[in-house]
């Protein structure tokens, strides 16, 4: 990564425009009308990629310095696929209040905030507070980017198999940031909440389970999902299930997958080791997806976040709404809707059509 000027600096005249005295006129204009910041500075096309290094990829809590390469990579993807400039911001604190205060203090420098690799449950409070308190879009990609692409993939997989989302029995393995967001997104997209079972490391989520903190994200999901009150672990949940979505990193036994319904769908998204090896998943499922680039149907956040921020910035949006997320999922699904195959339910991350389509959908939903 590097920073490059968009104007020449080869003469005294160039310097007088780009810096003193010319820059003073721009400062005075913005002081008189702060809204001009978007037009006259980089704010209108730049986001901060913010992390505390507490949940980096599959590496865990490796801290802000070790997280920097991932944030730099994210910034490169923003530029390559969405034409959005991005700056990595790695914070040397994992205190919720400090993170919120620092990001709020930095916010005037940016047109949006992409939260990245912040552990649950802290990430929920940080995003919720910043979204409410800042006049610019705030988006935790580990939650919503994953959820948007999963919904797009499930729409197409169901269409390919002639199934209706509302009739599917869905099991989500993992109740962290991604699992909770995926569950909420699927329900918003048409999956029947009562037919969804979410599993964490202690078993299935259901309303009577005693170990949830009151008001927690898990308690909220348990109240609306798993209408049959299936208890025990993922093995019980998968009996007769149509869909398995793995966002946990834990391994799932072949015997549990074998108990799923015929023509099932398995999205085993843990990286680098899927919850169910693709060769095993393919024995039982009609459609298999992973988070890896070396297998078909890669569920990759890069299909979502560049276009979402491109659209939000171009629209001057103050937040990224549920309607925008659903529109983004529909746009991603639509790229390959006319050429669906079991090994092509989402477009390639390198498909140049994706980000413009997502951006246009987000603008239309603003």
Tell me the catalytic residues.
19, 74
Neighbour count for residue 356 (Cβ, 10 Å): 17
Residue 93 CA from chain centroid, whole number: 23
Burial of 81 (0-12, 13-18, 19+ CB in 10 A): buried
Region of residue 83 (left: phi > 0; alpha: psi -120 to 50; beta: else): left
Q: Please report which helix (H) or strand (E) contains residue 265, including its range.
A: strand 264-268
Rounded CA separation 276/270 (Å): 9
Residues 6+ apart with CB under 8 A from 257: 238, 244, 266, 276, 280, 281, 284, 285
Of 311, 366, 343, the residue nearest 81 (C-alpha): 311
Of 250, 96, 270, the residue nearest 178 (C-alpha): 270
Rounded CA separation 224/59 (Å): 32
Cβ-contact 105, 80 below 8 angstroms: no
Of 321, 9, 45, 89, the residue nearest 188 (C-alpha): 321
Given strand 46-51, what is the order of strands in its sheet?
85-90, 46-51, 112-115, 138-140
Residues 6+ apart with CB under 8 A from 262: none
């Amino acid at each position: 990564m590097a920073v490059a000027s968009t104007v020449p600096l080869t003469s005294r005249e160039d310097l007088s425009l780009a810096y003193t005295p010319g820059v003073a006129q721009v400062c005075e204009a913005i002081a008189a009308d702060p809204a001009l910041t978007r037009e006259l500075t980089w704010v209108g096309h730049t986001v901060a990629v913010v992390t505390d290094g507490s949940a980096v990829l599959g590496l865990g809590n490796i801290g802000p310095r070790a997280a920097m390469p991932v944030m730099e990579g994210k910034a490169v993807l923003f530029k390559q696929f969405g034409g959005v400039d991005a700056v990595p911001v790695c914070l040397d604190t994992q205190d919720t209040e400090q993170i919120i205060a620092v990001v709020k203090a930095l916010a005037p420098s940016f047109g949006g905030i992409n939260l990245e690799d912040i552990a649950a449950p802290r990430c929920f409070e940080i995003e919720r507070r910043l979204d409410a308190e800042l006049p610019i879009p705030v988006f935790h990609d580990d939650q919503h980017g994953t959820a948007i692409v999963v919904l797009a993939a499930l729409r197409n997989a169901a269409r390919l198999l002639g199934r209706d989302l509302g009739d599917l029995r869905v099991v989500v393995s993992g109740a962290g940031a991604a699992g909770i967001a995926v569950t909420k997104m699927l329900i918003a997209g048409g999956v029947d909440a009562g037919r969804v079972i979410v599993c964490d490391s202690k078993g299935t989520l259901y309303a009577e389970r005693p170990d949830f903190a009151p008001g927690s994200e898990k308690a909220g999901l348990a109240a609306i999902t798993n209408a049959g009150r299936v208890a025990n672990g993922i093995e019980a949940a998968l009996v007769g299930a149509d869909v398995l979505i793995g966002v946990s990193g834990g391994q799932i036994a072949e015997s549990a997958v074998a108990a799923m319904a015929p023509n099932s769908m398995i999205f085993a998204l843990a990286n680098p080791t899927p919850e169910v090896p693709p060769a095993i998943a393919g024995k039982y499922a009609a459609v298999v997806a992973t988070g890896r680039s070396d297998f078909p149907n890669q569920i990759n956040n890069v299909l979502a976040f560049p276009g979402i921020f491109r659209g939000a910035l171009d629209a001057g949006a103050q937040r990224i709404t549920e309607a925008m997320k659903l529109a983004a999922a529909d746009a991603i699904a639509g790229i390959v809707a006319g050429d669906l195959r079991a090994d092509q339910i989402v477009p390639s991350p390198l498909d140049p059509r994706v980000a413009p389509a997502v951006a246009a959908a987000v603008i239309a939903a603003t």
